[in-house]
A and B are shown apart, each in its own frame.
Chain A
Amino acid sequence: MHKHSPPSTKRLLKLKLNGRWREDAVSEQELLVDYLRDVTHLTGTKIGCDGGECGACTVLVDGEAVPSCITLAVRCEGRNVETIEALATQGRLSRLQSAFHEKLGTQCGFCTPGMIMAAEALLRSNPTPTDGEIRTALSGNLCRCTGYVKIIESVKAAAGVTS
C-alpha cells in the first residue's frame, strides 16, 4: 500500500524469509506486516486490528512469535523471519496445519495463520505442552469462531498429547 507514497527514506533490508535470504528496499516506517503482504506478497499473515490487539499477524522472528503489525520491518535486518507459508514443506502440511484442519481448529480461518505460528513457537520450545501452557502461549491470539476448544485440541493433537 505504500509503494506509491511520496519518496521516503528507504534502506536495503536483508533478511532470511521462510528459509531464503532476500534483499528489498523498504521504507524506514514500513511495518513488518506490510512488508510481508505488499512487498513479498505473502498474504497469509493477516491484519485484524489497528495495532497489537488481536495476534492475527503473528510471525516468527528468530523463532519467537511476535506481532508483525507493531514491528518495523527494518528491525528484522539479518534475522530469520518465518510466516505461515513456510510451514508446509513440499506441499505437505505440517503437524500443526494437519491438526488444525482435521480437528476443526479453524473455522473462518482469519486468525488461523497467526494462531498456528504462535503454536509453532510453543511446540518448538515445548514439544509436549500442558493445557495451561497452550493457553498461555496462545493468549495473545483472538479467535471469534471456535471458542478455542478445538484450537486447544488441535495443538494437543499436533503435539501428540492426549487429553
Chain B
Amino acid sequence: MSSSLPNFGVAQPGTIAEAVAACVSHPGSRFMAGGTDLLVNMRRGIVSPDFLINLSGIDELTAIAADAQGMTIGAGVTIASLARNAAAVTQYHALAQAAAAIAGPGHRNMATVGGNLCLDTRCVYYNQSEWWRSANAYCLKSRGDTCHVAPQGQRCHAAYAGDLAPALLVLGAEIAIAGPKGRRRIPLSELYVEDGKAHLTLADGELIVAVHLPPGAPASAYSKIRVRGAIDFPLAGVAVALSASDNAIVSLRVALTGTNSWPFLLAGTDPFVGQLIDDKLLHAIDRLVQKQVQPMRTTLASANYRRVAVAALARRLIANLGGTAAA
C-alpha cells in the first residue's frame, strides 16, 4: 500500500521537438503536463512509466490567443487560466464553464487543457491501490483478463470523465498534434474511440499541441452531475451549443462525457433544425440522449441514474439556451 512513487527519470524538454524526440528514445515513457491525473495513478501503482517527459517547460504549449480566425489554446494552458480567459468566458461559454468546474482550484492551477483531453478513463475497479487491484485479480484495463463491470464482454468499459472535451466538441474544435512524423490537425472527435483501455488515437510519441476553435460560436453551456460541488469527477456531463431564431433551432450540437469510454457528439440532432424549442422537442432530446449514452457500473452511482440525469441536464441546457423555461 505504498504511496510513494517508484524510481523514474524525468526529461525537461524546452521545445516540442525535444519532447517528441525524448519520447521516441525512451520506449514506455509518458508525457506529463500538470500531472494531476498521471501522478495520482502512479501513486496508486496503476501505471508505472519509468520515464516522464515534463512538458511544463515548453513555452509554445502555453500560448493562448483569440482573433477573427477563432481561438487557439495551447495544450499546456492551465485549466485555471482557461477558466478566467476573457474570450473563453464571453465567446465559448461552455468551455469556460467546463474549465471552472474541474476538480478543485489547486488542481486547476496545475492541470492543463491537453492533460484534461487525454485524461485516463476511470472505473471503480481500476482507480484503486495495487493491494486492492491485486486482491481483485486486476482488470481488463490493466494486468487482468476480466472487465469486472461487464465480465461477459470483450472490452474495457472504464468511463471517460474529462470536462473540456464535450464543450470543445460542441464548439467544433480541432486539435493540432505533434509527433515523430511531424504535425497533423484533426477534429477533436477523431481523438477518441470507444474503448476504455485505449480511448485515445494518438500514436506513440504524439502529443496534443493546441486546440483550435472556429470563430462565431453559437451560445453554449456545460453542466455536469456530481455528488459534491467540487473535487468530484463528473458522473455524467453534457455540453450544448445552440443557435436559435424565433425560438426555432438553427443549429444544435450536444456532447456527452462521463457516460461512455469516450466523449461523443450526440448523433441525430439534424432533424431538430427548424423545430420550435418546446416540451415536445425537449422530450425528444431527452429520449435521444438516454438512447445513446451507455453508462456502466463504473461508478458507485447507478448507471441508470447517470443516464436519466444527464438527459435531464441536456434538456435543461437547451431550454435555458433557447430562452424558454426549463421543462
Contact = CB atoms under 8 A, between A and B. Distances in A.
Does a CB–CB distance below 8 Å link A and B in the complex? yes
Nearest to A2: B4
B10 A72 contact: yes
Interface in A51-74: 51-53, 55, 58, 64-67, 70-72, 74
Given A50-B129, A139-B104, A75 B43 contact: no
Given A9-B9, A29-B8, A139-B229, A51 B40 contact: yes
B105 interface: yes
A8 interface: yes
Contacts of B104: 55, 139-141
Of listed B3, B6, B56, residue having the most chain A CB within 10 A = B3
A9 B40 contact: no
Interface in A71-119: 71-72, 74-75, 77, 118
B111 to A, nearest CB: 10
Given A50-B129, A139-B229, A67 B106 contact: yes
A65 B107 contact: no
B133 to A, nearest CB: 14
B229 A65 contact: no
A71 B4 contact: no
Interface string A110-147: 00000000100000000000000000111111000000
B85 interface: no
B63 interface: no
Contacts of A75: 35, 54, 56
A27 interface: yes
Given A31-B5, A140-B105, A71 B110 contact: yes
A70 B36 contact: yes
A5 B5 CA distance: 11
B39 interface: yes
Query: Which range contains the number of A residues in contact with the other chain?
Result: 20 to 34
B231 to A, nearest CB: 6
Interface in B44-61: 44, 52, 54, 56
A140 B39 contact: no
B230 interface: yes
A1 interface: yes
A70 B39 contact: yes
Interface in A1-57: 1-2, 5-6, 8-9, 27-29, 31, 34, 50-53, 55
Of listed B12, B39, B54, B104, residue having the most chain A CB within 10 A = B104
Given A65-B106, A139-B229, A140-B106, A74 B40 contact: no
Contact of A71 (B6, B8, B35): B35
B103 A70 contact: no
B40 A29 contact: no
A140 B10 contact: no
Contacts of B201: none
B230 A139 contact: yes
A67 B231 CA distance: 12
A64 to B, nearest CB: 4
Interface string B252-272: 000000000000000000000
B136 interface: no
A1 B3 CA distance: 11
A55 B107 CA distance: 9
B4 A55 contact: no
Interface in B9-60: 9-10, 12, 35-36, 39-40, 43-44, 52, 54, 56
B142 interface: no
5 contacts: A51-B43, A51-B44, A52-B36, A67-B36, A71-B39
Given A29-B7, A64-B80, A140-B231, 6 more contacts: A50-B43, A52-B107, A55-B104, A65-B109, A66-B109, A70-B110
